[in-house]
Structure 1
């Protein structure tokens, strides 16, 4: 027979053992298939994530008007659109007001018609929120009838909160009105900037750290039932098979189990894909159809998993001598060597350390070098743990009976216990390192907005043309229960000559109480005026004036005045009051340090026309429930085109927050995999020891003693594994922070938190495995079928 025929024969025999070896055979194959399948499902999900993110971007660009063609005048194919996004219970709700100016007005993606006046088109998620008890206050705000549900082409994800509101009052006041757009189509051709080196480093690390536990779990799953398999291979040696043949047969059995795992993994992926649309994390969600792995990546998984199963099986048999009368592994194994186990993490460090101190200033990191270094360090955890566990349990003795049973079991076979822990150890080590890196660089991607939420929870930005209703709007908001104060301020431009060619003078108008928010006033009365000092503004509105100066006030740069229906009023002349006092400027709640002039209403110029800036600062009593939402409702009810901007002290870069969100998605999937794989592994180990447990019970051993011994067998390697993972994670995190040019700081809260999460997963799996453990400790388990 040719070599190919021999390999085919032996592999086929191994496959027959996997499927035709009776109850024991198919249970072992099923457990292997489930373990491999969970890993394959996560691998397929991981390969599909880039495509899902690209699809989100494409749909977002398709509904954007950022680069759409504009029209100067109404026409049969023009549409007026303005953004009127909302916030509700800390959730962002994106929305737009629409008005078709002709029968051929463009339709936003996902709509069949432009909503009529007062009508709403909502996303499915927003529709459900509006119908729920949680959305009671939101129903008051978005009170129009829902005429249509937005289709998938108009949404970036199934959980997106999004709406269109039809309006018959939406208008564009003039060419200078940039808030309202007159478009003839939708679509945006994005030219996105690439991620900076540190963010790209974080993407690479996230994928490596999340996929490494998957690889470890797959390698563990293909070794299920190893002891029984080796005894069966010894029987084959007894009937004439040589050592090479039995290894090929073992490879065929592993190959069959991995193929079952591929099929189960595809099924798990299909189930998870169908359910993914119902989950939303940090208001991020994906459509099931978007979770579509690239064909070449799916093919790579289909080839790599069976190949890895065969390789792991052959590697596991390298130190096992299978003879006709037994397996030599039942004797005391040779002591594990340490030198090559230390070599792997040292080589990993050798790849990463030369990249230290680069940050964003010295070009991009070599992604392959980074990935290889991190993989070697994490693999170092998996190979060091068996050696450490062997050395630890070798010195243990004495104690209660349950402890002695557990220790003796670990002394006989510490490798199996270490394999069960390796996956969780790698996951915890990678999570700690990533969390340290995220924490270390967070300051570089988090900027201070300068806003002070303690002085105002919301800044109401009033659009051009509505300033004459400022006082009424402020009073309406102030009447809402829970609103403690409203501060209306309006601003306009002034200049010494027309048209303005130098810096303009900013004129801020408000009551004395309102002006105190933007200046340090020692005294103020109606009719007063002030000249501000201390402003650092250097833009076009950074000019100043002196008492008695004659100024032109209004649209002094001539952006909108002239002739035609959209023309703005011509600026008027106004003289700065001679008694204007000089006062220092003070940052307003949005962080704006104003310059120019402050005047009370009676001293302000008349017939100003359009204001470039008008806003109301709103303070609320946060102890009263929903006070902020009621204030937003009052704003939207008075004028839906007014923006209620929530003030926040900090803001994060979009790329950084997106990567962190992706990490949460991946971490959640890995935790599910960890729990499921550990449970399957625990069941397999209990099944292997069923007869032994039954024999001990039959001889009078207490079930509580056996249960405690099983718990000790889990607790000892888990404790050692988590300690090793914490040390490795901190070391890897320190190296990564050095690469990102950040000072090395150990975030002990993150270290303890990630270690605690790993311990909690193991504890939950252990508790879930107690019922089958108790069933296996019945004396009738000694029965042979």
Structure 2
């Protein structure tokens, strides 16, 4: 026989490949059977694994449904927007002729306390008007369709002030097709006096593009990206941890299989089959939890958003990737756990040659994440239109969080290995950790990710909050409402001054008309403010004023802005009242004094040209707005609502917005409370895995514990040893997590151009981690007491 004949004979045949694949499938089937029919202990282990994996899968399925939820919201927003192709207005190219199907509409959105109430006022031009989605007829004068959430609010004592503002007769509810989400406050009201003009438009159909949205603030992108990473990374870590529940008992079963003739590769395939069963059970539980949770999607509101159950559908690609990744991850984690385990017929040997963990690569992972955050995604955080990519931010945050978990095993091994002496309970705990610290650090790793992420988020929000408050304090912020229209009107300004001034919630009213003046060559513009002397004196440092006077108002600090104003508005020169083609010319009086402006609520000075009503005929203004600044009366409860009610009595289409510190403080406080609650819930979930791991280790040492008691070791000593064994990894993990969370938070604040203001914000989260230690120890004491009975020494 030649050498080539030997190679040909040794080459595998298709029959050999078939036998090998059949053998592999048989081993996987054995693993599935062992996992399914492993008795009471096996089912307890499977139940814990299914619960852990199932909760993680449900959360990831909900997260993968967010794109579908937002896409359906956008579609419904477009469906109820007036068609842009038939979007007629008083200043449009077409005259807006009425037809049998056209509808007049005006935006009547408002606010109520901290909630936004959107709505339109409608009037049909003909007998067959095009109906907006969600209603079956056009509301008549004084009638209203409301969303179910708004109708419930109006009928309650909580919405009493809002009901006074929206004095319409309820004739029905808006259907789901006309709402963005179940919790939205939205209405359609009818009017018989609505006429085409300023602020009122005509449309012949619905379903055009929604109003163009402003680009996302780069700071908001950073916050949302970090929040998603912090919420999802601990879930992934928890799934990997749950896949290793019952690992010690599984290794003993594999040793028994080696005793009856199975080889090492067979035991690994059987272990993969057991992992597949647990992950499949977890996927089933996760799908069931997701199906149940989506039924209550409309009753849960996060960041002012909720969803219809029909919208909570995972993207097919993301769902398929998730359903495939969970079993693959479970098998990979199980096989990875066996890399340092030698399963022999007479037992299991772990780490026969105790090898110290390598340190050099561990700090490189979080450092790479921090460098990616600081240098890989620079942008101007003060420019709302600045482009920022979320992917480098997410990658940097993930590397930082995962790098923190890579540091813990080395830290625990390095410190515990140097511990010597102490009470007997301390020695028992430290010796146990010296021999096997892997199980303890695996359970703590999930806590570390959750704690570090929560600290980073709280630092980020605290820095943003304190920076905002400092800016408002330096700029002498007023607690005020701004009421405006989309057109200039002296009559409206006078009415605002009178009727808003009579409101209980108003301390003062400053009503003016705002527009611009342009240089004759249209190369530059400056602001124009028209009002009476009383209002103008409150906006600028004007000492002498009479009707017919004009002023040029400069800023205190920005000299370049002042040069721009003087270039546009030359005293004695001609300017254009507006920047449109039909802007009327006007001569700025040469004797107009130059004065300095006062800072407004937003912290900037309203500079440019000031004119009294006697100096400019408002009818010559081609465009502009009528604006009333209304400082609130802090001594009146619900002062903003009284002002909004008065504004609705003037014109329901008036736009109202606020600059208020108290509401912002309350929202930041509630946000911090929510972050702490979410971190506590995550820690509680991971505490369950720690408890399972702790009880499993106690069961493994049942004979040893019974022997110690039989030799006279007090049970309290063993109980204290369990406490130290739990506390040491958690304390070390908390220290590492706090350091990593502070570093990540500081990096995120540096990314958005803010300063760290609260270094001690980690204390509440660290306190929750200490509570986890106590909880796990207390719950593990009853099984510990049962395992220390003399019966534990019996054997067969």
**Normalized against structure 1, the TM-score is what?**
0.80
What is the CA distance between 1:3 and its match in structure 2?
Answer: 1.6
2:84 match: secondary structure: coil
Match of 1:325 among 315, 337, 346: 346
1:419-443 Cα shifts (integer Å, max 9, x gaps)? 1111121233445566777888999
2:82 match: secondary structure: coil
What is the CA distance between 1:314 and its match in structure 2?
Answer: 1.4
What is the CA distance between 1:496 and its match in structure 2?
Answer: 13
Match of 1:32 among 49, 71, 78: 49
Match of 1:421 among 434, 437, 444: 444
Query: Given that residues 97 and 166 in structure 1 are in contact (C-alpha distance below 8 angstroms), is that contact kept between their aligned partners in structure 2?
Result: yes
Paired residues for 1:343-492 under 5 Å? 343=361, 345-346=363-364, 349=367, 353=371, 357-359=375-377, 375=398, 377-400=400-423, 402-432=425-455, 454-455=477-478, 457-462=480-485, 464=487, 467-468=490-491, 470-490=493-513
Match of 1:519 among 533, 537, 540: 540
Is 2:190 aligned against 1:166? yes
Paired residues for 1:172-251 under 5 Å? 172-173=196-197, 177=198, 179-189=199-209, 207-251=228-272
Query: Given that residues 458 and 618 in structure 1 are in contact (C-alpha distance below 8 angstroms), is that contact kept between their aligned partners in structure 2?
Result: yes
Q: Could you tell me how far apart the structure 1 residues matched to 2:576 and 2:367 are?
A: 66
Cα distance change, pair 193–664 in 1 and its aligned pair in 2 (3 A): farther
Cα distance change, pair 17–495 in 1 and its aligned pair in 2 (3 A): closer
Q: Structure 1: which 5+ residue stretches go unaligned?
A: 561-570
Cα distance change, pair 609–6 in 1 and its aligned pair in 2 (3 A): closer
Paired residues for 1:79-98 under 5 Å? 79-98=103-122
Cα distance change, pair 296–507 in 1 and its aligned pair in 2 (3 A): closer
Give the equivalent residue in structure 1 for 2:7: none
Give the equivalent residue in structure 1 for 2:650: 638
Q: Quote the RMSD (CA, aligned, Å).
A: 4.9
Match of 1:598 among 576, 600, 611: 611
Is 2:326 aligned against 1:305? yes
Paired residues for 1:669-688 under 5 Å? 672-688=681-697
Query: Given that residues 82 and 180 in structure 1 are in contact (C-alpha distance below 8 angstroms), is that contact kept between their aligned partners in structure 2?
Result: yes
Give the equivalent residue in structure 1 for 2:11: none
Query: Given that residues 345 and 376 in structure 1 are in contact (C-alpha distance below 8 angstroms), is that contact kept between their aligned partners in structure 2?
Result: no
Q: Could you tell me how far apart the structure 2 residues matched to 1:61 and 1:356 are?
A: 38
Q: Structure 2: which 5+ residue stretches go unaligned?
A: 1-15, 89-95, 381-385, 556-560
1:335 match: secondary structure: coil
Is 2:104 aligned against 1:104? no
What is the CA distance between 1:480 and its match in structure 2?
Answer: 2.8
What is the CA distance between 1:23 and its match in structure 2?
Answer: 0.6
Query: Given that residues 488 and 618 in structure 2 are in contact (C-alpha distance below 8 angstroms), is that contact kept between their aligned partners in structure 1?
Result: no
Q: Comparing 448-457 with 72-81, which one deviates more in the overlay?
A: 448-457
What is the CA distance between 1:575 and its match in structure 2?
Answer: 11
Q: Could you tell me how far apart the structure 2 residues matched to 1:504 and 1:392 are?
A: 67
2:628 match: secondary structure: strand
Match of 1:63 among 80, 83, 88: 80
Match of 1:770 among 760, 778, 784: 778
1:182 match: secondary structure: strand
Match of 2:639 among 627, 638, 642: 627
Query: Given that residues 109 and 117 in structure 2 are in contact (C-alpha distance below 8 angstroms), is that contact kept between their aligned partners in structure 1?
Result: yes
2:508 match: secondary structure: strand
Q: Could you tell me how far apart the structure 2 residues matched to 1:324 and 1:141 are?
A: 81
Cα distance change, pair 246–674 in 1 and its aligned pair in 2 (3 A): same
Cα distance change, pair 779–553 in 1 and its aligned pair in 2 (3 A): closer
Q: Could you tell me how far apart the structure 1 residues matched to 2:275 and 2:518 are?
A: 83
When the two structures are aligned, how many residues end up with a matched partner? 749
Give the equivalent residue in structure 1 for 2:659: 647
Q: Could you tell me how far apart the structure 1 residues matched to 2:73 and 2:630 are?
A: 35
2:630 match: secondary structure: strand
Query: Given that residues 582 and 622 in structure 2 are in contact (C-alpha distance below 8 angstroms), is that contact kept between their aligned partners in structure 1?
Result: no
Give the equivalent residue in structure 2 for 1:509: 531
Query: Given that residues 206 and 663 in structure 1 are in contact (C-alpha distance below 8 angstroms), is that contact kept between their aligned partners in structure 2?
Result: no
What is the CA distance between 1:131 and its match in structure 2?
Answer: 2.8
Q: Comparing 395-404 with 293-302, which one deviates more in the overlay?
A: 395-404
Q: Comparing 305-314 with 719-728, which one deviates more in the overlay?
A: 719-728
Cα distance change, pair 651–141 in 1 and its aligned pair in 2 (3 A): closer
Q: Could you tell me how far apart the structure 2 residues matched to 1:360 and 1:208 are?
A: 19
Cα distance change, pair 760–678 in 1 and its aligned pair in 2 (3 A): same
Is 2:745 aligned against 1:721? no
What is the CA distance between 1:586 and its match in structure 2?
Answer: 4.2
Cα distance change, pair 181–216 in 1 and its aligned pair in 2 (3 A): same
Query: Given that residues 500 and 506 in structure 2 are in contact (C-alpha distance below 8 angstroms), is that contact kept between their aligned partners in structure 1?
Result: yes
Q: Could you tell me how far apart the structure 1 residues matched to 2:492 and 2:405 are?
A: 69
